[in-house]
């Protein structure tokens, strides 16, 4: 029994000292490549594309609209108004995810506040482009009431 306790204590000590997560620490911040507050205002989409497998829908190209209002703290509301169904609104908060000395544009969606998605982006002060990978957005492709996970591509221009 003494030998078992000794092995257990050695194993436990080794595990405690080997479980450092300092290198993998992820930080959400409002200051990254630019301050998130620079996005404050109203935005109109010139592209609001949702894609999964071989299916792709651009709400704006099909005659609908997409608009976004961003507060100084990064909170936002995005309203999508496709031509073939009722308008709907999603919301969340924008951040930078700092990881390994690199900043990634991140959104914490209100529907899933314990997680965030990262997006490729470009921003020049008047145009914001966001590209999300698989499962970074949702859209009801067949208009049956069930949202399906998909990738997204938005291009917004500042409208006020």
Would you state the pLDDT for residue 100? Answer: 86
For residue 27, is it within any domain? no
Domain total in the chain = 1
- In degrees to the nearest 10, what's the CA dihedral of 38, 137, 114, 21? -80
How much is the pLDDT for 27?
A: 83
Domain that holds residue 140: 36-158
pTM for the full predicted model: 0.82
CB atoms within 10 A of CB 118: 17
Please report whether residue 15 resides in a domain.
no
pLDDT of 8-65, one tens digit each?
334 433 333 334 444 566 788 999 999 999 999 999 999 999 999 999 999 999 999 9
pLDDT of residue 42: 98
Tell whether 10 is covered by a domain: no
pLDDT at residue 121, as a whole number: 95
| Residue 112 domain-assigned (yes or no) | yes
Burial class (CB in 10 A: 0-12, 13-18, 19+), 59: buried
As a whole number of angstroms, the distance between CA 98 and CA 132 comes to 17
Which phi-psi region, left, alpha or beta, contains residue 122 (left: φ > 0; alpha: ψ -120 to 50)? beta
Task: Establish if 5 belongs to a structural domain.
Answer: no
Q: Provide the β-strand partners of residue 94.
A: 107
- Give the model confidence (pLDDT) of 57-88 as tens digits: 999 999 999 999 999 999 999 999 999 899 99
* Chain segment 73-130, per-residue pLDDT in tens: 999 999 999 998 999 999 999 999 998 889 999 999 999 888 899 999 999 999 999 9
Q: What is the pLDDT of residue 115?
A: 87
Between CA 12 and CA 98 the distance in angstroms is 31
Q: Is a pLDDT exceeding 90 seen at residue 159?
A: yes
Instruction: Indicate which CATH number applies to the domain containing 53.
Output: 2.40.128.20
């Amino acid at each position: 029994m003494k030998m078992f306790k000794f092995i257990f204590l050695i194993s436990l000590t080794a595990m405690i000292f080997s479980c450092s997560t300092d290198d993998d620490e992820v930080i959400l911040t409002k200051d990254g490549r630019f301050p998130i507050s620079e996005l404050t205002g109203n935005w109109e989409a010139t592209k609001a594309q949702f894609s999964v497998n071989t299916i792709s829908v651009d709400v704006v190209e099909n005659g609908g609209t997409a608009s976004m209002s961003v507060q100084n703290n990064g909170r936002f509301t995005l309203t999508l108004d496709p031509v073939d169904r009722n308008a709907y609104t999603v919301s969340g908060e924008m951040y930078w995810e700092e990881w390994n000395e690199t900043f990634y544009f991140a959104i914490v969606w209100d529907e899933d506040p314990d997680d965030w998605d990262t997006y490729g982006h470009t921003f020049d002060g008047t145009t914001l482009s966001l590209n999300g990978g698989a499962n970074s957005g949702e859209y009801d492709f067949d208009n049956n009431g069930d949202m399906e996970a998909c990738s997204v591509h938005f291009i917004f221009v500042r409208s006020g």
